[in-house]
Amino acid sequence: MLKYANPTNFLALAARLIPWLAGAAALALAVGLYLTFFVAPDDYQQGASVKIMYLHVPAAWLGMMCYMVMTSAALGTLVWRHPLADAAQKAAAPLGAAFTLVCLVTGSMWGKPMWGTWWVWDARLTSVLVLFLIYLGLIGLWQTIEEPAQAARAAAILTLVGVVNIPIIKFSVDWWNTLHQSASVFRLGGPTIAPSMLWPLLIMALGFTLLFFALHLMAIRNEILSRRLRRLSITAAAAEDPEVAGEAAL
Amino acid sequence: MKDYTFYIAAAYGFAALVVVTVIAKIMLDYRALRQKLTRFDNKERNR
Amino acid sequence: MPPVEARSPNTQALQGISAKGLRVDRGGRAIVRGVDFDLRAGEALLVLGRNGAGKSTLLRALAGFLPLREGEVQLDGGAEETSLAEQAHYVGHADGLKAALTALENLQFWARMLKCASATALSPEGALEQVGLARLGDFPVGYLSAGQKRRVALARLFVAPRPIWLLDEPATALDVGSQQKFAEAMAAHRAGGGFILAATHAPLGLVGAKELRLDARRARDVGGAA
Amino acid sequence: MSSPLLALFGRELRIARSVGGGGAMGVVFFLILVSLTPFAIGPDLNLLSRIGPAILWIAALLSTLLGLDRLFQADADDGSLDLFVMSSTPLELVVLTKCAAHWTLTALPLIAAAPLLGLTLGMEPAALAGVAASLLAGTPALTLLGAIGAGLTAGLRRGGLLMAVLILPLTTPVLIFGVASASAASGGTVPFHTPFLILCGLSLMAVAGAPFAAAAALRAREA
């Protein structure tokens, strides 16, 4: 019975992997933070506020990467009917939403010193906002449909529809942004990044990615356990009537 | 060069807050699920 | 405005219910016409008839969900100014349970919502015991089978006791054991001076119950005190 | 008297929590509506900040109303509504309690989120406070008027849209005085308290009248 053997194998695998991943993530983040605050030079224009970039850009990458993970999980659910795929997809959505939220808020906090307002409808920030809304929609879908298998298929379809639309959204937001080019907007990111600033960025991104995978495995484990609990309580409820003989036959 | 420490602190503070809440939620869910499942096993055994 | 806090209905026990010339319309058509019955404390009335004869309509009218086109219902004894509906329980096809809540939570809610300070009220746990679902208290109702949901709904009768039971096919989805248990509960209710008006096809084991036959074709009341 | 209504209030909150973010869905809808407007109007913050209060109020109006069509539907389907009619607590108070629970679950998060979203429209703090205050005063009226619509359409299949069509015209005064008091907060000819007090009056009128209308609508559903 591959279908049932799989989750238990996964739990054993996860139990081994999670401590390592968590440790590596902590290490990478520590090194990244150290580099960011003590080694990387300030930007000649933006001054020290560029340090927020080391948080903002990795968070944006993670938001995108998480959606790619969900897309492959959606394919796993719909095409190969892999039992763990929908658990992986459901586990990834809140993480994706959290990372995009971090990206949006840190972007706004970086924008305040630059443009004097908390939020600017910059092309990239707006696309990330739409991505954040898509994540919220997916999480809402899972909360509404109780039956796991049905919810998984619905969410998988919505994710795939989303992945087709994200490039279109990106393009149309850029076009929308340039069409209304107003003086107060200038693109985030600035010139090519000097090597001394690139390294901390890559290490921070690595740290975030490791953190994501550690949390993702843990969330999948939770999802498997909660489904097992649901199944157990349904069967237990049905089998709960020793006194009333005829019940099971009904 | 204006002093941006407030914004940097706010940004990193918020990021830390979100990450810690996500980790805490996952860990708490995990513990709650383990407890319920073990309670189920005991109930099964001693029924 | 009747006092919002209903005095406990059985300060003086309800002696009898009598109905004369009841007529209930639905969609402009007389579904039930010329219905008379008289019940004394402890008696039961079986409302019989083919599907569509208006059994449910009559019960829903008595419960106050539908207006009576003609005729009236007399209550003698029992607390004044409280309508029949406030002294009755209605068990219809829908169980009135929230799937997301557990059986206990549902019963605790109904105990407080249909609040009545009568001594014979069972605790939610006791009521579940009465219908043989003691161990299912903390399961979400959504996980229970149709029969179990039905029994949780019937447990509501014990949580906030009221003299009149309006039962619309109470035995559906119940298996033999549960039907037997419920028949005993009904007998106990009648022994305590309660009234039972049940619309049913399956035999409910109501001993010495009066019958009221609503026959759709002749739309005429044939029944009467058996 | 209070214990049945408190029990009902508790049950509503518990159901919304266990069925997943009952309230959260309304806030997400509010967030989406507010973010859609700049896509139509353009990213220019000066323009957006001028019409900010209007955007926030229209979004709040729609998300409050469209969250309401399920208010009585679930109870009508599972038979709880019949039992409410039979309980010794008047149906009007049951309706008022359900509206209070719904208001706490959807309108309060909305009022908390409105100022944050106002930032994305470039509104200054005074206007944000104005919007929050006007929403606090206006949303009870929206919830209660919506409850009348929900009572009328409980049990109908396509109730949601019909309910909005029935009730939206009735909410125009609330919208007018709501936006007026929100804009007045950030300076302008009209002092803040004039439209604001009228808004409070509208809400109080709704609290007094709507439960009777909604209860009558629910009773009429059966006959």
3-state secondary structure of D200: helix
CA distance A132 to A59: 12
User: Kind and range of the H or E element at D27?
Assistant: helix D22-41
- Tell me the per-residue pLDDT of D149-181, one tens digit each, with 9 for 90 and over: 999 988 787 777 888 888 999 999 999 999 999
CA distance D152 to C39: 37
Do residues D102 and D26 lie in contact, with contact meaning Cβ atoms separated by under 8 Å?
Answer: no
- Tell me the per-residue pLDDT of C33-53, one tens digit each, with 9 for 90 and over: 888 888 888 888 888 888 877
Q: Where are the domains of chain D?
A: 2-222
Chains A and B touch (3+ CB pairs under 8 A): yes
DSSP result, A140-207 = HHHHH--SHHHHHHHHHHHHHHHHHHHHHHHHHHHHHHHHT--TT---SS-SPPPHHHHHHHHHHHHH
C128 close contact with A: CB closer than 8 A:
no
CA distance D177 to A140: 33
* Closest C-alpha to C87, from C19, C161, C36: C161
Residues of A in contact with D38 (CB under 8 A): 121, 126
C135 close contact with A: CB closer than 8 A:
yes
What is the bridge-based pairing of β-strands C44-48 and C70-77? unpaired
Mean pLDDT of A202-224: 93
Residue B23 falls within a domain, yes or no? yes
Please name the member of B1, B11, B29 whose beta carbon is closest to the beta carbon of A106.
Answer: B11
Residue B27 falls within a domain, yes or no? yes
CA distance D24 to A137: 11
The predicted structure's pLDDT at residue D203: 95
pLDDT of chain B along its 47 residues, tens only? 567 788 888 889 999 999 999 999 999 999 999 998 888 888 777 65
Residue B34 falls within a domain, yes or no? yes
What is the bridge-based pairing of β-strands C210-215 and C220-221? antiparallel
Query: Could you report the predicted ipTM of this complex, rounded to two decimals?
Result: 0.80
- The residue segments making up the domain with residue B38 are 17-42
Q: For chain C, which residues score pLDDT lower than 70?
A: 1-12, 116-119, 216-226
Do residues C189 and C164 lie in contact, with contact meaning Cβ atoms separated by under 8 Å?
Answer: no
Residue B4 falls within a domain, yes or no? no
* Closest C-alpha to C130, from A243, A247, A233, A250: A243
The predicted structure's pLDDT at residue A192: 56
> Residues C16-19: contacts with CB within 8 Å, 24+ apart?
C16/C40, C16/C41, C16/C75, C16/C76, C16/C77, C17/C73, C17/C74, C17/C75, C17/C84, C17/C164, C17/C195, C18/C73, C18/C74, C18/C76, C19/C62, C19/C71, C19/C72, C19/C73, C19/C74
**Chain C: closest CA distance from residue A237 (Å):** 6
DSSP result, C96-149 = ---TTSBHHHHHHHHHHHT----TTPPPHHHHHHHTT-GGGTTSBGGGS-HHHH
The predicted structure's pLDDT at residue A191: 47
Q: How many domains are there within chain B?
A: 1
Do residues D107 and D178 lie in contact, with contact meaning Cβ atoms separated by under 8 Å?
Answer: no
Contact C98 D11 (CB under 8 A): yes
* Tokens read off for A62: 């993670």
Radius of gyration of chain B (CA): 21
| pTM, entire model | 0.83
Residues of A in contact with C139 (CB under 8 A): 233, 236-237, 240
For residue D189, count CB atoms less than 10 angstroms from its CB and return exposed for 0-12, middle for 13-18, buried for 19 or more.
Answer: exposed
CA distance C165 to C157: 8
- Tell me the per-residue pLDDT of D4-58, one tens digit each, with 9 for 90 and over: 889 899 998 888 877 665 678 889 999 999 999 988 888 888 888 889 999 999 9
- pLDDT at A247 exceeding the cut of 60: no
- Tell me the per-residue pLDDT of A138-193, one tens digit each, with 9 for 90 and over: 998 988 888 888 889 999 999 999 998 888 888 888 888 776 654 344 445 444 56
Contact partners of B by the rule of 3+ C-beta pairs under 8 A? A
CB atoms within 10 A of CB A14: 18
Best of A229, A234, A235 to mutate (most B CBs within 10 Å, chain B) = A229
The predicted structure's pLDDT at residue D22: 64
- Render the burial of C191-211: b for 16+ CB within 10 Å, e for the rest: eeebbbbbbbeeebebeebbb
pLDDT bin (cut points 50, 70, 90) of residue A246 is: very low
- pLDDT at A220 exceeding the cut of 90: yes
Contact partners of A by the rule of 3+ C-beta pairs under 8 A? B, C, D
Residues in chain B: 47
Do residues C12 and C77 lie in contact, with contact meaning Cβ atoms separated by under 8 Å?
Answer: yes
Contact D86 C88 (CB under 8 A): yes
3-state secondary structure of D42: coil
The residues near A229 (Cβ < 8 Å, ≥ 6 apart) are B33, B36, B37, B40
The predicted structure's pLDDT at residue B46: 67
Angle at CA of residue C83, ends C80 and C87, nearest 5°: 90
The predicted structure's pLDDT at residue A4: 42
Question: Which of the given ranges, A91-95, A198-202, A240-244, has the highest pLDDT on average?
Answer: A91-95
Residues of A in contact with C138 (CB under 8 A): none
pLDDT bin (cut points 50, 70, 90) of residue D148 is: very high
Angle at CA of residue C69, ends C66 and C71, nearest 5°: 110
Domains of chain C: 16-221 (3.40.50.300)
- pLDDT at D138 exceeding the cut of 70: yes
CA distance A137 to A159: 10
Do residues A152 and A141 lie in contact, with contact meaning Cβ atoms separated by under 8 Å?
Answer: no
Compare all CA atoms of chain A with the CA of B27 and give the residue at the minimum distance. Answer: A218
The predicted structure's pLDDT at residue C18: 85
- Whole-Å CA distances, A129 to A63, A94, D49: 11, 15, 19
Under 8 Å CB pairs connecting chains A and B tally to: 78
Best of D83, D85, D98, D219 to mutate (most C CBs within 10 Å, chain C) = D83
The predicted structure's pLDDT at residue D117: 92
- Tell me the per-residue pLDDT of D77-115, one tens digit each, with 9 for 90 and over: 888 888 888 888 889 999 999 999 999 998 999 999 999
3-state secondary structure of C197: strand
Q: Which amino acid is at D54?
A: A
